[in-house]
Amino acid sequence: MRVSSSLRAGLVALTAIAGATLSSTAYADSGTVRISVIKGGWFIGASGGSGTLTFKGRRYPLSIGGLSAGLVFGASQTDLVGRVNNIRRPSDVAGVYGAAGAGIAAGAGVRFITLRNEKGAVLALEGRQVGLMANADLSGLAIGLK
């Protein structure tokens, strides 16, 4: 009987831990994001723009700003659309997203990017980049709800 009650207690504890883990993931939701960012720089770059989060049928305006350090030359405008995953409320999108990247845009080009913030929100975006830009840099992008 001692072994079976210890085993039973262990199984109950394991089930509780698994349930808590699954329930926190199960409540996470997703939405769509559309953003437009203008970036320019000479060694140090800056970016700014705006966008919209659509979450559970409602639209939320976004503000976007950021800095880049490394090799940054030129200016470009990027229009991106995609999904944001692992959010529970609109404010989960707000935060700082970091990325390391390199690229060259002359005229029009295609851009794909996946970013994650400190709250666990994951942006998977794609779109068009227009301008003349060469970069090999570390970037930080801050997204806020207006």
Domain annotation covers residue 6:
no
Predicted local confidence at residue 139, as pLDDT: 75
Domain annotation covers residue 121:
yes
Predicted local confidence at residue 53, as pLDDT: 98
Q: Which residues of 51-73 are buried (b: 16+ CB within 10 A; e: fewer)?
A: bbbebeeeebebebebbbebebe
**How many domains is the chain built from?**
1
Of 146, 135, 145, nearest to 67 by C-alpha is 135
Give the three-class secondary structure for 117.
coil
Beta strands 95-116 and 122-145, pairing class:
antiparallel
Predicted local confidence at residue 5, as pLDDT: 56
Q: Encode pLDDT of 108-132 as tens digits.
A: 777 788 889 999 999 999 988 888 8
Q: Which residues of 79-105 are buried (b: 16+ CB within 10 A; e: fewer)?
A: bbebebeebeebebbbbebeeeeeeeb
Give the three-class secondary structure for 7.
helix
Domain annotation covers residue 82:
yes
The range of the structural domain enclosing residue 73 comes to: 30-145
Predicted local confidence at residue 11, as pLDDT: 47
Predicted local confidence at residue 48, as pLDDT: 94
Of 43, 139, 51, 37, nearest to 96 by C-alpha is 139
Backbone angles phi, psi at 90, to 5 degrees: -55, -35
pLDDT at 107 over 90: no
Q: Encode pLDDT of 78-102 as tens digits.
A: 899 999 999 999 999 999 987 766 6
Average pLDDT over residues 57-65: 96
Report CA dihedral (144, 120, 68, 137) to the nearest 10 degrees: -160
pLDDT at 146 over 60: yes
Predicted local confidence at residue 33, as pLDDT: 97
Domain annotation covers residue 10:
no
Q: Encode pLDDT of 13-51 as tens digits.
A: 445 454 544 444 556 899 999 999 998 988 888 999 999
CATH code, domain with 133: 2.40.128
Predicted local confidence at residue 128, as pLDDT: 87
Q: Do the Cβ atoms of 141 and 64 come closer than 8 Å? A: yes
